[in-house]
Amino acid sequence: MSNAAKLFIIILTIGFLGLGFSVFAQDVTEEVDLDENIQAEDLEVEDPRILPDSPFYFLKNWGRGIRSLFAFSPLAKSELRSRFANEKLIEIKKMVEKKKGFEAIKKATDSYQKEIEKIRSEAAKIKEKARENPKVEKFLDKFIHQQILHQKLLQRLENQVPEQAFEKIKETRERHLEKFQEVMLRLEDRKEKITEKLNDVLEKQKGSRFKHFKNLEILLELEEKVPENAKEAIRKAQENSLTRLKDNLENMSPEDQDKFKEYLEKISGEKEKHLEIIENLRLEAKEIPSELRKTLEDERIRILKELKETLEKSSRFPLCPRLVWIDPGSCTAGRIIIERDSRGCPLAPKCVITASPPPSLPPEGQVCIALFDPVCGKDEKTYSNECFAKIARVEVDYKGVCREYEYYIHGTFTREASDENIKDLLRIAERFQAGAGIMESFPMQFQVYPLINENCPEVRRILGTREYITHFSDCRSRPTQPSPGLRE
């Protein structure tokens, strides 16, 4: 074979490989688009030709006003307002795609928020429940379907707008979620029907092979907004989506499982929620293939790294403390969770190892899903949810992860502390991976916290060498929680 022929074969092979990689990337991008790139036809409206920043936009609003005059009942008005909200959301999407300025996007999102509020107001006037009127039920089914699509699109827009507009889109999405759940629970008060409707809508919605991952994220956020008496209904829908996602992944080919990894890297949304879903999958899918388990382990590492970089670089968290990040490899037997303080700042990730029922206990015909809604048992062990505690025959003491105890030292300055005194105190604390704070209500007093018990004696010894401190306590313990009234 001539050198020219060999060269031709090499070039042809590289071309096919490049084409293969390109098709693979395009394939995953299409999967992501199926789950979050909501189009006008998905919301049963037309592509907008006039956008809110057009001088002729008033004509569109004038037309909407005319149509509103012919909607007489609260149900008819709710249906019409829902259509207007669909139109306005697609308008925002087009403005983001055209890279319109912040003020134009803000004005459009304000108008969209007002429309969502009008839906809530009109729906509150509907006298009948879904079970009492087929027309109300039909409206509710369509409303749930479309509002879930709204959430998916708003999440996507958060990732596409400049940082200046991020908070506005995020605020819009949060408010939309609140109004969505209010209308849903106003028209349907049967828990089992709420679960049934959510399951039915999510199953029928178009989407990729991985769509239940995005569905789970929406359901987790919805759970945070609904009142306590409705949370069980949302959790049951989560159980269904988690089971379907797990079954789909376990039955996929190794090639499709590889695509799932890239899907996770490309999909929009809250990274903390993604981490929670991955942890649920890890603990729920005991028999998953080794390659898929490795994918889940790799993803928790990637998400933690992205969260850390976001906190360090983003101006959205200027007042949040720097965090000590956990090594995911040290938490293979548990799950990593990230909580937030009252300011919305992420707290340091921690590893929670949940208790399991002893093998000797019979399952009592009940199977628990590894959704994380932790409870602390009377045995002072954390269980993933009430179901696991019940199977273990342990009474729940309180909701949440069992409190651990941290140690701290309380002290008093000899006189009002100077900046140098405070810096020195902070340096002492940092040597032991702790913090220090000045009491807001008693500025002459301070705390060093949280401390490992073994470190406390050494910290006390060092504090005793400082002339600016007149008194300090022994090491004290308390349940882990943010220290009230402290200024770092």
Residue 393 DSSP SS3: coil
Per-residue pLDDT tens over the stretch 452-473:
777 888 888 999 899 888 888 8
- Is the confidence at residue 480, as pLDDT, over 70? no
CA 199/CA 130 separation, integer angstroms: 17
Q: Residue 237 is encoded by which pair of tokens?
A: 């829908």
Is 319 a residue whose pLDDT tops 70? no
Q: What is the pLDDT of residue 223?
A: 95
pLDDT value, residue 454: 74
Euclidean distance between CA atoms 382 and 389, whole angstroms: 9
Lowest average pLDDT, out of 64-78, 196-210, 251-265, goes to 251-265
Mean pLDDT of 86-99: 96
**What average pLDDT does range 128-153 have in this prediction?**
96
Helix 271-284 / helix 211-225 crossing angle, nearest 10 deg: 110
Q: Work out the pLDDT band at 342, boundaries 50, 70, 90.
A: low
Q: What is the pLDDT of residue 24?
A: 45
Same fold, 354-399 and 405-487: no
Q: 3-class SS at 1?
A: coil
Three-class secondary structure assignment of 227-290:
CHHHHHHHHHHHHHHHHHHHHHHHCCCHHHHHHHHHHHHHCCCCHHHHHHHHHHHHHHCCCCCH
% pLDDT > 70, the chain: 83
Specify the pLDDT at position 429: 82
d(CA 206, CA 34): 7
Every domain of the chain and the residues it spans: 31-251, 354-399, 405-487
CATH number of 405-487: 3.30.70
Res. 32: pLDDT tops 80: yes
DSSP structure string for 156-192: HHHHHS-HHHHHHHHHHHHHHHHHHHHHHHHH---HH
The whole-angstrom separation of Cα 260 and Cα 289 is 14
| Whole-number Å distance between alpha carbons of 458 and 37 | 57
3 state SS of 419: helix
The DSSP bridge partners found for residue 336 are: 351
d(CA 268, CA 309): 17
Topology (CATH) of 354-399: Wheat Germ Agglutinin (Isolectin 2); domain 1 (3.30.60)
C-alpha distances in angstroms, 43 versus 47, 120, 146, 213, 215? 10, 18, 6, 21, 17
Question: Sorting pLDDT into bands at 50, 70 and 90, what band is 54?
Answer: very high
Band of pLDDT at residue 392, cut at 50, 70 and 90: confident
What CA–CA distance (Å, rounded) separates 46 from 362? 57
Residues 162-205 have pLDDT tens digits of: 888 898 999 999 999 999 999 999 999 999 999 999 999 999 99
Q: Which of 219-233, 408-422, 473-487 has the highest mean pLDDT?
A: 219-233
| pLDDT for position 404 | 67
**More confident site: 81 or 392:** 81
Name the pLDDT band for 431 (thresholds 50, 70, 90).
confident
* pLDDT the model gives residue 470: 87
pTM: 0.77
